[in-house]
Amino acid sequence: MKKFNFRKVLDGLTASSPGSGSSSGSNSGGAGSGSVHPGGTAGLPREEIQESLTSDYFQICKTVRHGFPYQPTALAFDPVQKILAIGTRTGAIRILGRPGVDCYCQHESGAAVLQLQFLINEGALVSASSDDTLHLWNLRQKRPAILHSLKFNRERITYCHLPFQSKWLYVGTERGNTHIVNIESFILSGYVIMWNKAIELSTKTHPGPVVHLSDSPRDEGKLLIGYENGTVVFWDLKSKRAELRVYYDEAIHSIDWHHEGKQFMCSHSDGSLTLWNLKSPSRPFQTTVPHGKSQREGRKSESCKPILKVEYKTCRNSEPFIIFSGGLSYDKACRRPSLTIMHGKAITVLEMDHPIVEFLTLCETPYPNEFQEPYAVAVLLEKDLIVVDLTQTNFPIFENPYPMDIHESPVTCTAYFADCPPDLILVLYSIGVKHKKQGYSNKEWPVSGGAWNLGAQTYPEIIITGHADGTIKFWDASAMTLQMLYKLKTSKVFEKQKAGEGKQTCELVEEDPFAVQMIYWCPESRIFCVSGVSAYVIIYKFSRHEVTTEIVSLEVRLQCDVEDIITPEPETSPPFPDLSSQLPPSRSLSGSTNTVSSEGVTKDSIPCLSVKTRPVRMPPGYQADLVIQLVWVDGEPPQQITSLSISSAYGIVAFGNCTGLVVVDFIQKTVLLSMGTIDLYRSSDLYQRQPRSPRKNRQFIAGLTELNDSPVPLELERCKSPTSETRENSYNRSRSSSISSIDKDSKEAITALYFMESFARKNDSTVSPCLFVGTSLGMVVLISLNLPSSDEQRFTEPVVVLPSGTFLSLKGAVLTFSCMDRTGSLMQPPYEVWRDPNNTDENEKTWKRKLVMNYSSSSQEMGDHQYTIICSEKQAKVFSLPSQTCLYVHNITETSFILQADVVVMCNSACLACFCANGHIMIMSLPSLRPMLDVNYLPLTDMRIARTFCFTNEGQALYLVSPTEIQRLTYSQEMCDNIQDMLGDLFTPIETPEAQNRGFLKGLFGGSGQTFDREELFGEASAGKASRSLAQHIPGPGSIEGMKGAAGGVMGELTRARIALDERGQRLGELEEKTAGMMTSAEAFSKHAHELMLKYKDKKWYQF
C-alpha cells in the first residue's frame, strides 16, 4: 500500500492571537494573507465557539476500490477457497470472493501482470510481471503483502505452472528454457531444462518461447513443455531427458491434458485443435477445425483465426467439454469475439460484447488426475467479467454481484452522500429491482470464498454516478460495498434524433448530446436535478406510482451583451433592469421549438434538443417534472451550464453559465430571472469590462467521455472538461494575484450557487430566503427571494427575485458556500418533507407542504447571528452576518488552485475539505480555518479525477481512479484505525478435499507406481545452486500483519510449525480412528467368512 508523508499542523498555531486570522502555512505570503477584514467586529466573541476537532482526528487512507479492473491481463481461481484474482496492465491485482470480499493490491513497479497462480488452499498467490519478476503474495491477511520477489535478469518470463500441493514452481522463458523456483524460499533451483536439451540435436531452428508447462496427471515426474513453433516435449524430470517429442507445423497457443494423462489437446494459430496420444506421438490422433468449412477428402481444412486457448475437461456421466476462445472463420469479420463450448456433438458459440482476455473452467476437484466435472466458465473480457453456467443446456450466465458495470457508459460526474435518510436505500431498491434483467442462472454465484461482516460502520451511504449516455445510477455504498439500487435514463424525456438531424439542431456537442454534466440531489425531499452538456436542466420528483402525463418544458433565452459597456456609471445605470425584459419573448410549455432553422437563416431561440410533446408513461421512481432548456441566441449556441442548485422548500431552481444566471420557479413553472452576470451588479460593478471577442460557435467536450488513459498535458485536458471555458479562464487568472491580469476576452461565469435562510442585507435583523451566487472572478452576490407568505398563495402569487446589493469578494473562482449558526453548528438548507405527488388518497389531497427550516429566528439579541463560509480556488473566508465582517481568511494555495471544496460534518463538527490540483488534500477547522491536515495524496494526472472527486460527511471521499473504477478513501483517523474490521477475509480455513480412491487395478496399471520426490531432485543437495546472475531474490515488505500472519520472522515460522503440527496431529488422530474402524470391519468379515466356510465345507459342488 502506498505510504504517505503526513504533515499535520499544530492546532492553534495560526489562531494564537484573537486579532489574527488563519494563514496558508508554507504557501502564505500573498497580499492580505492571514489578515482580518477591517471594519466591525463580530457580535459574538470568537473565543466562545469551542472547536472540538483537532489534527488527531484526521488521517488519509484508501479504503476500497469498486468497479471493473481497468485493462485486465490475467485471471486465476482457487477451486477450494473459491476466490478469483484478476491482474491488470497497470500492475494491479483485484481479488474477489463473496459479496463484501473485494481486495485491491498493487505492484510497486506498476509492471503489467502476465500470469497469476494460486497456491491452492494455502492462502497465497504467485504473480508474474512484465518486468520479469515473480512475486509471492500472502493472502492470510486482509491487506495482502508481498513476502518474496524474484527478479530474472537475463531471461524473460513467458509462462508459469505450479502443480497442486507442490512447493516447486516451473517457469518458462522466452529463450525456451525452463527454470524451477522453490515457493517457500523463493530461490531458484540449480535444475534447468535447457531448450537445446529438450529438442532433438538434429533440429536446427530455435523452438521459440515456452507457451505451456504442466505435469502429467499420471506421473508427477513427467513434465509437458509446449513451444511456440509447434514442438511439444514430454520431459522425464528424474532421468533428465525427453521421453517423447511432438511436432506440428502450426504455432501452438495452449495445451490441456485429459485427466487420465494419456492424451492432451493443443490449440493452434490456424484455428485447429489437435488431440495427441502419448503412445503414437508421430502424428495427431485427431485434428479438427471447429469453425472451418468442410473440404473435400484429402484437402486441408480452411484456416480460421487462431484459437488462443483451449480447455479439455472430462465428466463422469457425460461427454467431455472442449471450451476454447477464438477460432472463427476469417470471412466473418463482423462477428463479435466468441467463446465456443463443444459438448459431445453439440457446438455452442457464445458471442461476447468485448474481446476475451482470458477464461478459466471452474471444476469440482483440484486434482488433475480425476474427472474434472466442470460446472462454470469464468470469462474475463476487456470491459466485463461473466461466468457461464455449464450445468444447464442453454448455458445461462450467473448474475454478477459485483459492480462491474460502472463504466457501462463512461462516468461523467459523481456525487457521494453519507449518513443519508435510512429509508432511501430500501425505497430505491424496491423500485429498481422491478427493472432488473431476467434470464440469469438460478444458481448462486460460484465465486463465494472469503468471509465478511458488516463491521462497526452502520450508517447508510449512497453514491450517484452520471454517464455519457444520459443515465443516472444510484448505488448503495454502505459498509464498504457497492450495489446498484436504481437506474434513471434522462434521455427518455427527449425525442430521438434522426439521421442527419443532429448536425442541424444540436451543434453544441457532436457526440453524447445527453451526457450528464452536473447533478444535485436533496435526499430529504427526494428532489433530483440534473444538467446536461446540451444546456438543459431536468427536475425530477419521486413517486411510487406510475403516471402518464406530458412533460412540461421551458425555453430560456440567456444573453449578455457587453460590447458597448466599458465601465458602468452609477448615475446613468438604472436601479434594476425590468424583469419582463429578461424573460424570453415566447416560452413553449409543450416542448416544441419556436422556430425552425434552415440553411442561410441565423439560428435563434432554438433549443439543442426536442422535448417529447406527447404524453409519456413514467414508471414508479423518479419522474420528470420540468425541463428547462437554454436556446440559441443570434446564431450562437447556448453555453454549457457551470453551476446548479435547487431548493425544495422554496420551490426554486437556479443555474448559471459563463453568460449569466437563470432562476426558475418549478412549482408555478415560470422563469423568475434570466440575466447576464454583469447585470447582477446593478450600479455596483467593481471591474472595468472590455468589449468581448467573438465567441466560438463550437465547444469540444471529448474529454468528458474518453475511456483511454493516455497521459495528456493538464492544459489540454482542461479544454476537454465539462466546464472547460470557465476552468481555463480560472486557471489563467490563478497565475496572478492581480485582477488586472484577466484576459480581455474572459467572461464572468456563475461557478457556485447556494440557497439558505440568511441575512440578505447589512442591516437586516431577521433571516429571509436568499440565494448566494459565486462567480469565476471571486465575486459573491446575495439575491433576495421574496416568497408568498402562505401555502395557498405559493401556488398562485409570483415570487420576486432581486439582487440585494450585497457583494463579497475572494481571490479565484468561488467553489462552495456554507453557513453556521452562532454556536458554531453547521446549518442545513431548508427543505420540504417528501410526499408522493401522485398519491390518490383523500388524506393526501388535503395534505399541506411541510417545510423544515433548520433555523430559529426567535432570538432578537443584538449582534451577528450567522457565519458564512465561502471557499474559492485560492482562499477561504468566513464572514459574520449581517454585519458582513470578514472574521477569518486563509490563503490555501498560491502556486496551484483548488479543484473541489466541501463543508462536511465529522464527529458532529464541521470542517472544510479541499482537494488541490497539485494533489494535496487539506482539512481546515471551522469557523477559524485552522489547518488540520495537509497530505500530498496524488497528483492530478487528468481531468477525470478533477471531475469526479467529491467529499462527504463522516470522513469519506471518492474519485474515479480509472475509466472503470471508483476509489474510496477516508480522511478520518478513527476509520483508518478500524479499517481492518471493515474489510473481508480472503482466506478461511477449509479442509482440502480428499483425492478419490483410484482402485487397485488403476493404481497398478494406470501410472507410475513409484513416488516422486521433488525435494530430492530439485533441492540444493542434488541440483546445486543456480547462477546468481540469473535471478535476484528480493525480500518483500511483508508488513507487520504479514509477519504475524504467515512468513516473517522466527515467531511466524514457529506459529506455522505449531499450526502444522496441530493439523498433522488431528489428521493422525483421524487416521488412527479410521484404521481402528477398518480393523474392526476386517475382523467381522473374517468371522463371517470362517462361518461360511464351515457351513459349506462338507457339501459337494452339485449340492450348491
- Would you state the pLDDT for residue 694? 36
What value does the CA radius of gyration of the chain take, rounded to a whole number of Å? 36
DSSP label of 330: T
- Would you state the pLDDT for residue 541? 96
Q: Which three cell numbers stand for residue 879?
A: 464572514
792 or 377: whose pLDDT is higher? 377
Task: Report helix, strand or coil for 707.
Answer: coil
Are 111 and 130 in contact by the 8 Å Cβ rule? The answer is yes
Are 674 and 760 in contact by the 8 Å Cβ rule? The answer is no
The sheet that has 231-236: what strands, in order across it?
A: 210-215, 222-227, 231-236, 241-247
User: How many angstroms from the chain centroid is the CA of residue 10?
Assistant: 35
Whether omega for the bond prior to residue 882 falls within 30 degrees of 0, making it cis, is yes
Mind spelling out the 3-state secondary structure of 157-226?
EEEEECCCCCCEEEEEECCCCEEEEECCCCEEEEEEECHHHHCCCCCCCCCCCEEEEEECCCCCCEEEEE
Share of the chain above pLDDT 90, in %: 62
Degrees, nearest 5: CA angle 402-408-413 = 100
Lowest mean pLDDT among 49-53, 303-307, 351-355, 745-749: 745-749
What residue ranges in 776-865 does DSSP mark as E strands?
779-786, 800-809, 814-821, 826-827, 831-832, 851-852
Nearest CA-CA partner of 905 in 420, 523, 482, 425: 420
Are 322 and 301 in contact by the 8 Å Cβ rule? The answer is no
pLDDT in tens, 856-865: 544 444 457 8
CB atoms within 10 A of CB 912: 26
Distance, CA of 202 to CA of 919 (rounded, Å): 62
Nearest CA-CA partner of 605 in 617, 593, 590: 593
Distance, CA of 429 to CA of 434 (rounded, Å): 9
Q: Which residues 6+ apart lie within 8 Å of 454 measured at CB?
A: 479
Distance, CA of 638 to CA of 658 (rounded, Å): 10
Q: Which three cell numbers stand for residue 432?
A: 429498481
Q: Which residues 6+ apart lie within 8 Å of 256 measured at CB?
A: 214, 264, 265, 310, 311, 312, 313
> What mean pLDDT comes out for the span 488-494?
96
pLDDT in tens, 22-47: 443 333 333 333 434 433 333 444 44
pLDDT at 595 over 80: no
Are 998 and 1009 in contact by the 8 Å Cβ rule? The answer is no
Lowest mean pLDDT among 98-102, 219-223, 494-498, 618-622: 494-498
The sheet that has 909-916: what strands, in order across it?
A: 6-7, 931-936, 920-925, 909-916, 898-906
Distance, CA of 558 to CA of 930 (rounded, Å): 41
Q: Which three cell numbers stand for residue 757?
A: 435562510
- Would you state the pLDDT for residue 1099? 62
- Would you state the pLDDT for residue 718? 33
Parallel, antiparallel or unpaired: strands 553-556 and 621-630? parallel
Lowest mean pLDDT among 101-105, 982-986, 1011-1015: 1011-1015
pLDDT at 568 over 60: no
Task: Report helix, strand or coil for 839.
Answer: coil
Q: Which residues 6+ apart lie within 8 Å of 772 measured at CB?
A: 752, 753, 754, 755, 756, 758, 780, 781, 782, 783, 817, 868, 870
- Reported pTM: 0.82
Whether omega for the bond prior to residue 79 falls within 30 degrees of 0, making it cis, is no
Distances (CA, A) of 865 to 137, 434, 754, 857: 58, 49, 18, 9
Distance, CA of 537 to CA of 645 (rounded, Å): 11
Are 630 and 507 in contact by the 8 Å Cβ rule? The answer is no
Helices (H), 854-982: 943-948, 973-982
pLDDT at 1090 over 50: yes
- Would you state the pLDDT for residue 855? 66
